[in-house]
A and B are shown apart, each in its own frame.
Chain A
Amino acid sequence: MKQIIKIVLGLAALTAMGLFLFLPDSKPPDDGKIRLRYWMVSALRELPFHVTEFNRTHQNIIVESTPLPWNEHEKKILTSILSENPPDVVFLVTPVAKWATRLALTPLDDFIKRDSFDSSIFFSALWDEMKSKDHIYALPLYSNSYAFFYNKRLFREAGLDPEKPPKTWDEVLQYSSKLTKKDAKGNFIQMGFIPTYGNIQTSIILAWELGAQMLLNDGTRVSLTNKPTLDAFNWIANFYNQYNLKDISTFVAGFGFAEQHGFISEKLGMMILDNSFPDQIKLYNKNLEYGVADIPTFEGHPPVSSTGSWWLAIPRGAKNIEAAWQFMKFAVQKNIQLTEAERQKELLFPANKLAANDPAFLSLNPANKIFVDMIEHSKTPTVIPLAHDVFWREYMGAQEKVIHKMQTPMEALSQAEKTIQMVLNETIDYDNYVRSKVSVN
């Protein structure tokens, strides 16, 4: 019996030692300063300016930023919230609503009211995205903006005026056929425009320009079979009637990143690109002669673009809420955003309207004026906040079926609409259930 007790004690001691070894050394040095844990999705090698400047100017708070890898960031934040040890501030890009509706974020309404925080400093398209069920959950930090890029050298070679980019989508089609070249075997060696290549979906821009409303009845009904969206899909279908899908796929498969990007490698004459491209072009092909213009539209319709934001928020269960709010408020200020944009050119476009319209920012790049204009005409890619991922999967799936000529736009879109509606109904039902059981602020 004694031996058994010995063994049990021994095992217990070993376990305790093991736990002790793996226990994180979580006790910060006791200097009375608040340590703010800041998790950001970022590939930047150095600390961003809003962190270093905050640390320099604030004596009592130290921001400790941790970069998260893109592929795993959602899961990391999810588990940190579940284990009740979340960071104090997160920097994210996926829709605010995706997190807010799941009660993963702390509402900021009280802070905004207390400090009479002025939200009109942000582009309105970005600010609208920070809301969910009449509460504000985040502050936009950066955004992106899209404009229409065209290659002046290729325009000249094709006999087009390099100072006159296309203004309408009909012109895009005409210019495109002039800019397209094939080799002796019939393979594309140059094309004018490919509506399905790139980060942004040309079809949704077309649909928005024609006035598509995809979410109706106070956010409860999905509409994809409306006339504008059908017309947009018909335009895409028409494009793929003129060009062979297999040839385009082979051509696009030759593209990659950086030097191999379709537009940067001068294989594509026209493309809708984001605000990081002037810098990328400078870096990878500085001889590229390009022009930047407003995104084309249809006769009699205003141009529309798309913008999303990188936002800051406080996860549910964060420890230093007050300090976190101080930091967030600091980061979105005009002068901080301006200096940041000057120092770290790549990828950054201020969410702060005052910073983006400042001569100091506009003079960084001649294209910035157009990007700022386009952002004012932008809609959010978070079309169905409660079913965001499903929406895009279904939307892209429908477009794929149309360009493979497997279904007509009507068939593909009504099928997608049905699937998204089903998910949306369930999400709303689940949400109502949770709200009936748990008190939600």
Chain B
Amino acid sequence: MKKFKLNKFNKQQAIYGILFMMPWFIGFIIFGLYPMIMSVYYSLCRYDVLRIPQFIGFGNYQKLIFEDPYFWTSISNTLIYTILRVPLCIIGSLLLAVLVNNAVKGVKVFRTIYFIPSIVTGVVLSVVWLWMFNPQFGLINSFLAYMGIPGPLWLLDPNWSKPSMVLMSVWSIGGGRMLVFLAALQGIPKHLYEAVDIDGGGWWAKFRNVTIPMLSPIIFLWTVLEIIFSLQVFVEAYIMTQGGPLNSTMFYNLYLYNKAFNDFEMGYASALAWLLLIISLIITVIQFWLSKRWVHYDGGAK
């Protein structure tokens, strides 16, 4: 084996590099790595922060999976929310991007208008939508009543509460996701569309055979990201419903928060956090495996 050797100059450079990295590295160890390692340990303990931890092995995990009904409720709520929300977000943003990709007059104004709502933060958004969903005075039900349709109770009805929150995310389809799709759309070479024209294909053939395959890496990326974001849904439920009605919006992170900061069960909450990481990892690995079938990279490269 050839020994790797640095000359004097490179050595000096390396030392400088490491030195300049140190402030970040020390910060990462103290505020990132150390808490992470400790949370693995605490997840194996009973621990309420104010008192010493009591080691109980895998007791927390065992209790979560086999005894705690809220764990499964929160998982199914979160998965239903994810399954409903992710397609809506991806398809919505993609269609909007295709729409504002047309070179019509004033398209830049439209792009800006569609982007603006996504600047609003989650808390503000939740408070606004809380009023929109009000069954008596809310904008949506007032409009429905005007059309002669009796509106549902939205957030107050256990069957409608999750769809309501999914509906809220329509608000953000014009945001960063749309911009990335738009940039990718503009990167698709014109000659591919011309080829479809020559073959006599219409807009659908272009969309189906050129746009979608060319965008597939971006669609894949956003699907992975959005699923992770959706699994971590918290603010909407925390502000609007606190998990109700009938625990229908008791999402995973809300349950974790309640355990940690209302009941002070930090050990149990740590176990919840690690399980969520494992679930997210499994879902992401499955997606990467499935992606081989439908994601096309330029020139066949991986």
What is the interface of chain A, defined by CB distance below 8 A to chain B? 3-4, 7-8, 11, 15, 74-75, 78, 81-82, 102-104, 246, 249-251, 253-254, 389-390, 393, 397, 400-401, 404, 406, 419, 422-423, 426, 429-430, 433-434, 437-438
Contacts and interface: CB of A to CB of B under 8 A. Distances in A.
Tell me the interface secondary structure of chain B in the complex: loop
Given A7-B19, A393-B258, A430-B48, 4 more contacts: A249-B156, A389-B262, A434-B51, A438-B51
Interface in B218-273: 244-247, 258, 261-264
Contact of A254 (B49, B136, B158, B264): B136
A212 B244 CA distance: 27
Contacts of B22: 11
B85 interface: no
B50 A103 contact: yes
Contact of A250 (B54, B153, B264): B153
Contacts of A7: 16, 19
A282 to B, nearest CB: 26
A56 to B, nearest CB: 36
Of the listed residues B12, B19, B247, B262, the one surrounded by the most CB atoms of chain A closer than 10 A to its CB is B262
Nearest to A74: B261
Nearest to A432: B54
Nearest to B260: A75
A59 B136 CA distance: 58
Interface string B61-78: 000000101000000000
B46 A404 contact: no
Contacts of B51: 102-103, 430, 434, 438
Given A11-B22, A430-B46, A249 B52 contact: no
A4 B22 CA distance: 14
Q: Which of B19, B50, B67, B69 has the most CB of A within 10 A?
A: B50
Interface class of chain A by DSSP: helix
A318 to B, nearest CB: 14
Contacts of B54: 430, 433-434
30 contacts: A8-B19, A11-B23, A78-B50, A78-B264, A81-B50, A102-B50, A102-B51, A103-B50, A246-B157, A253-B134, A253-B153, A253-B156, A254-B137, A389-B258, A389-B263, A393-B258, A397-B247, A400-B245, A404-B158, A404-B245, A404-B246, A406-B246, A419-B69, A430-B51, A430-B54, A433-B46, A434-B51, A434-B54, A438-B51, A438-B52
Interface in B155-173: 156-158
B135 interface: yes
Contacts of B19: 4, 7-8, 11
Nearest to A396: B244
Nearest to A404: B246
B52 A437 contact: yes
Contact of B246 (A8, A11, A401, A430): A401
Contacts of A3: 12
A438 B53 CA distance: 12
A181 to B, nearest CB: 16
A434 B158 contact: no
Contacts of B156: 249, 253
Contact of B261 (A11, A75, A434): A75
A102 B246 CA distance: 31
B15 interface: yes
Contacts, number: 75
A404 B245 CA distance: 10
A390 B19 CA distance: 50
Interface string B25-56: 00000000000000000000010111110100
Contacts of A406: 246
Interface of B: 12, 15-16, 19, 22-23, 46, 48-52, 54, 67, 69, 134-137, 153, 156-158, 244-247, 258, 261-264
B135 A253 contact: yes
Given A103-B51, A438-B52, A4 B246 contact: no
A438 to B, nearest CB: 6
A38 B16 CA distance: 49
A434 B52 contact: yes
Contacts of A437: 52
A250 B150 CA distance: 12
A11 B20 CA distance: 9
B239 to A, nearest CB: 11
B201 to A, nearest CB: 51
A8 B135 CA distance: 64
Nearest to A397: B247
Nearest to A430: B46
Contact of A426 (B46, B52, B258, B264): B46
A406 B19 CA distance: 63
Contacts of B46: 426, 429-430, 433
Contacts of A104: 50
B15 A102 contact: no
Contacts of A15: 23
B291 to A, nearest CB: 41
Contact of A422 (B15, B67, B247, B262): B67
Nearest to B244: A400
A145 B283 CA distance: 52
Highest count of chain B CB atoms <10 Å: which of A8, A11, A401, A433: A433
Nearest to B158: A404
Given A250-B135, A404-B158, A78 B49 contact: yes
Contacts of A429: 46
A390 B136 contact: no
A100 to B, nearest CB: 11
Contacts of A11: 19, 22-23
- What are the 6 closest A-B residue pairs judged by CB atoms, nearest first? A254-B136, A102-B50, A433-B54, A430-B46, A250-B135, A389-B262
A279 B19 CA distance: 65
Contact of B135 (A249, A393, A426): A249
B52 A4 contact: no
A433 B134 CA distance: 49
A4 B262 CA distance: 50
Nearest to B50: A102
B134 to A, nearest CB: 6
Nearest to A72: B261
A102 B153 contact: no
A250 B261 CA distance: 32
B162 to A, nearest CB: 16
Contacts of A81: 50
Q: Which of A251, A406, A426 has the most CB of B within 10 A?
A: A426
Contacts of B261: 74-75
Contact of B49 (A82, A397, A422, A430): A82
A393 B244 CA distance: 11
